[in-house]
C-alpha cells in the first residue's frame, strides 16, 4: 500500500499593479468599482456580506447604477443603467504589464458588464510571459494562440502584444467588432477574427489537424451561439477541454482556463485538465479575487493553467 499523500496546492491570485481600476466596496450582492475615471455599482451574486459604506455613500460616488429585477439570478442579468452623474456610455481604459501596453474601451451594456473583467489581469500577465518565453526560447518565433469565448478580446491583445499569431473566436458579432476596436486602439495588427460557436470551431480545427502553442478558454456559465446553439458550462466543458487537448502543441505550449460558475471549484478544473492532458506537474489551479478598499476579498471564478516553460 502506498501511503504517500499528494497535497494539491490551490493558489489565490489578484491583480496587484492596475492603477486605473479599483474595487471600492462590495456587499449586499453588489460591487462598487472605479473603471478609469468613472464609478459604477452593479450586481454581484458572490458578495453575500454587508457593505462597508452606506447606501448614501454608494449613490454619492457612483456615476451609474445597474438595476434589474433579480440581482441574485445569473440567468437574468439584463437590466438598465440608472445614470446618477454625467458620463460617456463608452470610454478608454488601459493596462500596462512590463513593456506591454493594452488599450481598450469600457462600455455600459444591458447585461451589467462593462467589457472588462479586472480579475483576469493576472492571466493577461501569464499569457504575455508565456508567449514571449515560447517566442524567445524555442524555434517557434511566432507562437499561435487560440482565444475561445474571447469576448472583447483583452486576452487576445495580451497575446498579440507579446508577439503571437492570434485567432479570436466569439459567437457574437458585436463583441468581435468591439474587440477589433480594442485592437486598433492598442496599435496592434493582424488578429484573425472568427464569429462562430466555439465548440463548432474547435471541432473543425481538430479535423484539420491544427496546432496551437497557446490556448485560452474563458467560457461563460450560460450562452447562445450565433445560430442559437445552447451552452451550459457544466454540460459542455468536459467535451471542450478534451477537444482542446488535441489542438495544443505537445512540446511548446501554455493553456489558461477560467471557470465562472458558483457550482464549480478549482479542483474540478484540475480534474478536467488531468482527464484531457494527463498529469501536469506544473499545473496551477486556484481562485481569482478582487480586494475592496476595506480588505474584503470578492471571489470571481477559478482558474487552471500550465505551460511547458
* pLDDT tens sequence across 170-201: 999 999 999 999 999 999 999 999 999 999 99
Q: Tell whether 129 is covered by a domain.
A: yes
Sign of CA dihedral 65, 104, 177, 214: negative
Q: Tell whether 188 is covered by a domain.
A: yes
Say how far apart CA 28 and CA 37 lie, in whole Å.
Answer: 24
Q: Is the pLDDT of residue 73 over 80?
A: no
* pLDDT tens sequence across 92-106: 999 999 999 999 999
Q: Tell whether 182 is covered by a domain.
A: yes
Q: Tell whether 247 is covered by a domain.
A: yes
Q: Is the pLDDT of residue 55 over 70?
A: yes
Say how far apart CA 258 and CA 255 lie, in whole Å.
Answer: 10
Q: Tell whether 203 is covered by a domain.
A: yes
Average pLDDT over residues 74-87: 82
Q: Tell whether 197 is covered by a domain.
A: yes
User: Which whole-number Å values give the CA distances from 93 to 39, 102, 160, 210, 279, in the listed order?
Assistant: 13, 8, 18, 34, 39
Q: Is the pLDDT of residue 124 over 80?
A: yes
**What confidence category does residue 76 fall into, taking pLDDT thresholds of 50, 70 and 90?**
low
Q: Tell whether 164 is covered by a domain.
A: yes
- What percent of the chain has pLDDT above 90? 83
pLDDT confidence of residue 1:
44
pLDDT confidence of residue 153:
98
pLDDT confidence of residue 281:
85
- The CB density around residue 126, as the number of other CB atoms within 10 Å, is 22
Average confidence score pLDDT of the chain: 92
pLDDT confidence of residue 54:
98
Residue pair 300/46 in contact (Cβ under 8 Å)? The answer is yes
Q: What is the CA radius of gyration of the chain?
A: 19
214 lies in which domain range?
116-307
β partners of residue 285 = 10, 304
CATH number of the domain bearing residue 292: 3.40.50.150
- By three-state DSSP, how is residue 86 classified? coil
How many structural domains is the chain composed of?
Answer: 1
Q: Tell whether 173 is covered by a domain.
A: yes
**What confidence category does residue 77 fall into, taking pLDDT thresholds of 50, 70 and 90?**
low
Q: Is the pLDDT of residue 69 over 70?
A: no
**What confidence category does residue 260 fall into, taking pLDDT thresholds of 50, 70 and 90?**
confident
* pLDDT tens sequence across 221-255: 888 776 777 888 889 999 999 999 999 999 999 99
Amino acid at each position: 500500500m502506498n501511503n504517500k499523500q499528494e497535497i494539491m496546492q490551490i493558489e489565490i491570485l489578484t491583480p496587484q499593479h492596475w492603477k486605473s481600476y479599483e474595487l471600492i466596496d462590495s456587499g449586499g450582492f453588489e460591487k462598487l468599482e472605479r473603471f478609469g475615471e468613472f464609478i459604477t455599482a452593479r450586481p454581484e451574486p458572490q458578495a453575500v456580506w454587508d457593505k462597508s459604506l452606506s447606501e448614501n455613500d454608494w449613490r454619492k460616488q457612483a456615476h451609474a447604477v445597474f438595476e434589474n429585477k433579480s440581482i441574485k439570478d445569473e440567468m437574468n442579468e439584463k437590466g438598465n443603467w440608472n445614470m446618477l452623474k454625467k458620463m460617456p456610455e463608452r470610454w478608454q481604459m488601459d493596462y500596462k504589464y512590463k513593456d506591454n501596453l493594452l488599450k481598450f474601451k469600457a462600455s455600459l451594456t444591458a447585461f451589467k458588464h462593462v467589457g472588462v473583467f479586472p480579475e483576469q489581469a493576472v492571466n493577461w500577465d501569464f499569457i504575455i510571459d508565456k508567449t514571449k518565453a515560447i517566442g524567445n526560447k524555442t524555434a517557434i518565433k511566432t507562437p499561435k494562440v487560440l482565444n475561445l469565448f474571447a469576448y472583447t478580446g483583452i486576452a487576445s491583445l495580451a497575446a498579440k502584444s507579446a508577439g503571437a499569431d492570434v485567432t479570436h473566436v466569439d459567437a457574437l458579432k458585436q463583441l468581435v467588432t468591439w474587440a477589433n476596436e480594442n485592437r486598433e486602439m492598442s496599435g496592434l495588427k493582424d488578429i484573425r477574427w472568427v464569429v462562430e460557436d466555439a465548440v463548432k470551431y474547435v471541432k473543425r480545427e481538430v479535423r484539420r489537424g491544427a496546432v496551437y502553442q497557446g490556448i485560452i478558454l474563458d467560457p461563460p456559465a450560460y450562452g447562445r451561439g450565433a445560430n442559437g446553439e445552447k451552452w451550459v458550462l457544466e454540460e459542455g466543458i468536459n467535451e471542450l477541454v478534451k477537444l482542446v487537448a488535441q489542438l495544443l502543441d505537445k512540446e511548446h505550449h501554455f493553456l489558461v482556463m477560467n471557470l465562472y460558475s458558483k457550482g464549480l471549484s478549482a479542483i474540478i478544473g484540475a480534474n478536467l485538465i488531468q482527464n484531457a492532458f494527463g498529469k501536469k506537474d506544473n499545473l496551477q489551479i486556484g481562485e481569482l479575487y478582487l480586494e475592496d478598499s476595506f480588505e474584503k476579498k470578492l471571489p470571481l471564478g477559478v482558474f487552471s493553467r500550465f505551460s511547458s516553460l
